[in-house]
Amino acid sequence: MKTFIPTLKKTLKPLLGLAGLAIVVVWSGGFLGDKTAPGTLDAETGFPLPKDAETFQVEIQTVPTRVDVVGTTASEEKINLSARIPAYVSEVFASAGDRVTKGQVLVTLDDRDIRQQLAAAEAQLNQARTEYDRAKGLYEKEATTQQALTAAESMFHAAQAQVEQDKVMLTYAQKT
């Protein structure tokens, strides 16, 4: 008896699945709905329209695809567009005649040189920070002079300033 119930469960699942599939096939095939008898439907010949419908005669015409209008336009504001950095233009987002808004990015410049300068400046900053921390530790132990500490501190601040300047220059690569 104990082996009969698991066997019944194993065979019952596929049988129920097949029965469900058969029901779906019969229902989707339209076998359960009302049938329309074969024959013709009563309809007028031609294209049936309401009695008060307005009709038009359609003709093929050649229409110019371009209309030239002579005139000039001017902006309310005079815009001078120039780059603060010497670089090649990498992308242009607006063409002549396009409508632009204030703050919209118009071009991006090739910023690979500035990114390389920024990476070098960050490396110098890390070196200057390490040297400054070393000099500060030595000064606290009275193993170096005030002059050496001041020089290391100056180099650290100069490297920080160079990194900030390169970051600002990087923002100039996008022209709004």
Rounded CA gap, 39 and 41, in Å?
A: 7
Q: Please indicate, yes or no, if residue 168 is contained in any of the structural domains.
A: yes
Q: Please indicate, yes or no, if residue 30 is contained in any of the structural domains.
A: no
Q: Please indicate, yes or no, if residue 159 is contained in any of the structural domains.
A: yes
Q: Please indicate, yes or no, if residue 134 is contained in any of the structural domains.
A: yes
Residue 6 has pLDDT above 70, yes or no: no
Q: Please indicate, yes or no, if residue 83 is contained in any of the structural domains.
A: no
Spatial CA neighbour of 110 closest among 92, 137, 128: 92
Tell me the CATH number at 124: 1.10.287.470
- Assign 3 a pLDDT band (cuts: 50, 70, 90): low
Q: What is the DSSP string of 112-144?
A: HHHHHHHHHHHHHHHHHHHHHHHHHHHHHTT-S
Q: Say if CB 108 and CB 172 are below 8 A apart.
A: no
Residue with the two structure tokens 């709905």: 33
pLDDT score at 4? 59
Q: Please indicate, yes or no, if residue 16 is contained in any of the structural domains.
A: no
Query: 102: domain range?
Result: 89-175
pLDDT tens digits for range 82-108: 778 888 888 888 888 788 888 888 888
pLDDT score at 92? 87
Q: Please indicate, yes or no, if residue 79 is contained in any of the structural domains.
A: no
- Count of domains observed in the chain: 1
pLDDT score at 117? 92
pTM of the prediction? 0.50
Q: Please indicate, yes or no, if residue 136 is contained in any of the structural domains.
A: yes
